[in-house]
Structure 1
Amino acid sequence: MARSDNKRRRSASGRAGAKKKARRGDPRSPQSSGPRRATPAGPRDWIGAARLRTLPLAVAPVLVGTGAARLVDNRFHWVLALLCLTVAVALQIGVNFANDYSDGIRGTDDHRVGPARLTASRKARPRTVLTVALTFFGLAALAGVALVVRTQHWWMLGVGAACVLAAWFYTGGKRPYGYAGLGEVFVFVFFGLVATVGTTFVQAGAVPAEAWFTGAAVGLLACAVLLANNLRDIDQDRLAGKRTLTVRIGRRATQVLFTLFVLAPFVLLGLLALLYPIAWIGLLALLPGIVAIVIVWSYREPRELVIALALTSLTALGYGAFLFWAFVG
């Protein structure tokens, strides 16, 4: 009888222990319903978080700006061009990781449609993602300082600081401008005009009109990429209180604006071709852009817009490459 009582007590104790484990989410308990730790991020996750499909947007203005510099100075300044490219690419990767961090800690990416982010998926600690973002911002700053030392244009330190601040406050800080529908404005200015004109100026010491016009064109293509991204996330952003331009104006107006942003640069290309005949070949870069426009108008699932985003980035890269050829040819 005593042994029977002991068995009942041990059985009851075991059930009580199992319930406690389940309540506190002990992963050893089969009844546990607590949150499970996500698989730690691997190399593929980190590369994905860098969002390589957006890097053409950093390369295109450097190509265009370097080509425009040749219109003023017949020499190639390869070291300066490579430093400009380092600044642009490092800033682009830095802002991608900064967005991952800022949107992740705000909960904006909790129901993301596109590729999972490191912070929101809990595959990496927020502090680690932030450290990576700051590291790339630091690399961009170092390359920028090297440019300033080489060219002696010390006032450009202020331009570089403005670029880093714009990259951070897109989704960072208490009042990120990306949450207020101003993302396209800053992308146009910094990834279009500043990147292109700045590249031309540090190499040639002057800025021809072609650099301003083509900088605006590259900026429009970068804005088109952002529109495709925000169109994909429109429902999630609306629920999260992220008032992007797409959330403000709606799907149909975004589709129209996307189409205009993709086509307008090629109208300018046609005008430039009157002076630089090779630019006509640049119309080939419009082919992926046309496919992107068709996807934006006919998509049924938000995930399809990831393809439109990538194709628009390729359009920007082709646009920059063909203009570089036209200017130096």
Structure 2
Amino acid sequence: MLQRKWTSRWPWLRSVRESAQLQRSGQSELRIRTRAPPGSTRPPAGRPHASAAGQQIRTGAMKPDICRTFSKETEIKTQENNQSDREEVAPGRSSRAVSPPRVDPDGPCALRRLQPLRYACQRRRTRPGFGSGDVAGTVREDRSCCRGMAKEQSRAETYVLAGSNGHGDQQWQTGVNHSARPPPANSALTWRMSRVASDVRQKCAAYVLALRPWSFSASLTPVALGSALAYKLDGSVDLVVLMVCAVTVLVVHGAGNLVNTYYDFSKGIDHKKSDDRTLVDEILAPQDVVMFGALLYSLGCLCVTLLYFLSTLRLEHLALIYFGGLSSSFLYTGGIGLKYVALGDVVILITFGPLAVMFAHAVQVGYLSVLPLVYAVPLALNTEAILHSNNTRDMDSDKQAGIVTLAILIGPTLSYVLYNLLIFVPYVLFCILATRYTISMALPLLTLPMAFPLERQFRSRCYAKIPQKTTKLNLLMGLFYVFGIILAPPGSLPLL
């Protein structure tokens, strides 16, 4: 009777009594350390206690700051609340925030809700179950008062987020309940569209790099030179024809680079240290390179057809020049592979020199002339220097692949001599033109200081960066050459 009277008078003592009983029976699992609620009083000293825990409190051996556990009634209610929460989340296994646990207003720790911040309960998470339908990371607390916090404080409680990771197990995160918002309805569509756009940009960049755009100066400067000769000698230039002609030469040049990439890879010439690793690094597939090359050749044919209607040049002359250049770009590595039998230098010397200059001049004036062939010699020699430096750099790998180039045939010493001739002979020709005809032809001599470092690097056999630097020299020298022709006084240029 005395025990029942005390437990009804001080509700917290009932929990102490049950805690002591659970400790003695060895059934206590989870505990949380708290202090006695403010405002509560101890039982009067001198009154007998019915349990050992009560006796310890009376004598002062056990302070109100004690370890308490759930009562059986509270554990049953907590399990029911957790089961209902699991039934809300488990069927769809969707990544939704678990709703705040239900509150037991009549629980033994209701006083705890008066100061939820000061007496915040500590939590422990269990390891998430794998392959089960339970909410991963179920939070187990020693006091039901943690579930009975005030409504405004429960919003800031930590919640558990569960969802499948695609491998049959569960992954879980923690967050803040008030920050949980369902994802926008169009978020998946937006992400997918951005992913597709990113893939398209990467694919386009891969195609552009496969064209080797840094080498396009070898085809643009001959077009500019032929058009400048047409303007200076005949006094007329059609800008539309100039643009279409430039596109035609560029697409044929790009298609030739793709053919070179494909056959060098198929013959095992390209490797991880090669300058062109489009297929070696699997940036593009071989069939993509083939299709892209065929597309560029077809586009070149359409441009030539358009030139036939825009220019007064006869069809047979137009077809002869165009298909001559197209065949050279393909046969350089495709078909019989002129590059592999030491004839690649001859092909480049003719195609990217006299042939391209004649093509640009003919579509402007409407007839064929030998004059562009003479003016194309300085530019053709400098363009050939690009190829020769590239072949000299790849001399060892070409030997291992079993192909023959001019650099392999003549050796490093004669390759150095030939490179110097290809670099410095154009400057000699410019000096002759400047002294005998017009001073404007001395403009290309401004690039002469760039040639001496290339000669020193070639002599020391530092071939790594020479092709790129020679390409830059070719572009600048070609531009100054074109400007020199345009700025020349009327009638000052030599005629044949």
Normalization by structure 1: what TM-score?
0.80
Specify the code of the residue in structure 1 equivalent to 2:440: I
* Residue 65 (structure 1) aligned to one of 226, 229, 244: 226
Taking the aligned partners of 1:206 and 1:326, their CA distance within structure 2 comes to: 24
Q: Give the structure 2 partner of residue 133 of structure 1.
A: 293
Q: Give the structure 2 partner of residue 161 of structure 1.
A: 323
Specify the code of the residue in structure 1 equivalent to 2:208: I
Structure 1 residues 102 and 88 mapped into 2: Cα distance closer, same or farther (>3 Å)?
same
Q: Give per-residue Cα distances to partners, 1:235-255, cap 9 Å, x unaligned.
A: 111111111111111111111
Structure 1 residues 212 and 158 mapped into 2: Cα distance closer, same or farther (>3 Å)?
closer
- For 1:57-136, what aligned pairs fall within 5 Å after superposition? 57-110=218-271, 113-136=273-296
* Residue 184 (structure 1) aligned to one of 336, 339, 345: 345
Taking the aligned partners of 1:88 and 1:285, their CA distance within structure 2 comes to: 25
1:119 aligned counterpart, secondary structure: coil
Shift of 1:293: 2.3
Taking the aligned partners of 2:366 and 2:249, their CA distance within structure 1 comes to: 19
Taking the aligned partners of 2:467 and 2:241, their CA distance within structure 1 comes to: 30
Unaligned 5+ runs, structure 1: 1-40
Moved over 6 A (4+): none
Q: Give per-residue Cα distances to partners, 1:99-139, cap 9 Å, x unaligned.
A: 111111111113x5333422233332111111112222222
Shift of 1:54: 0.9
Q: Give per-residue Cα distances to partners, 1:64-120, cap 9 Å, x unaligned.
A: 11111123211222112212211221122111111111111111113x533342223
* Residue 285 (structure 1) aligned to one of 436, 447, 450: 447
* Residue 470 (structure 2) aligned to one of 309, 312, 320: 312
Taking the aligned partners of 1:260 and 1:315, their CA distance within structure 2 comes to: 15
Taking the aligned partners of 1:45 and 1:234, their CA distance within structure 2 comes to: 27
Taking the aligned partners of 2:450 and 2:298, their CA distance within structure 1 comes to: 34
Shift of 1:154: 0.2
Higher relative contact order (CA 8 A, sep 6+): 1
Q: Give per-residue Cα distances to partners, 1:41-71, cap 9 Å, x unaligned.
A: 7554433322222111011111111111123
Q: CA RMSD in A?
A: 2.1
Please identify which structure carries the higher helix content: 1
Q: Which has the larger radius of gyration?
A: 2
Q: Give the structure 1 partner of residue 366 of structure 2.
A: 205
Taking the aligned partners of 2:467 and 2:478, their CA distance within structure 1 comes to: 17
Structure 1 residues 116 and 282 mapped into 2: Cα distance closer, same or farther (>3 Å)?
closer
1:113 aligned counterpart, secondary structure: coil
Q: Give the structure 2 partner of residue 298 of structure 1.
A: 460
Specify the code of the residue in structure 1 equivalent to 2:244: L
1:220 aligned counterpart, secondary structure: helix
1:71 aligned counterpart, secondary structure: helix
Please identify which structure carries the higher strand content: 2
Specify the code of the residue in structure 2 equivalent to 1:80: V
Taking the aligned partners of 2:449 and 2:295, their CA distance within structure 1 comes to: 36
Are the aligned partners of 1:68 and 1:208 in contact in 2 as well (CA < 8 Å)?
Answer: no
Q: Give the structure 1 partner of residue 395 of structure 2.
A: 234
Taking the aligned partners of 1:114 and 1:291, their CA distance within structure 2 comes to: 23
Q: Give the number of aligned pairs.
A: 284
Structure 1 residues 312 and 214 mapped into 2: Cα distance closer, same or farther (>3 Å)?
farther
Are the aligned partners of 1:72 and 1:208 in contact in 2 as well (CA < 8 Å)?
Answer: no
Taking the aligned partners of 1:232 and 1:145, their CA distance within structure 2 comes to: 39
Unaligned 5+ runs, structure 2: 1-201, 488-496
Identity, % of aligned positions: 23
2:325 aligned counterpart, secondary structure: helix
Shift of 1:267: 1.4
Normalization by structure 2: what TM-score?
0.54
Q: Give per-residue Cα distances to partners, 1:148-207, cap 9 Å, x unaligned.
A: 23224201112211211111111112x211100011111111110000122112212356
Taking the aligned partners of 2:415 and 2:224, their CA distance within structure 1 comes to: 28
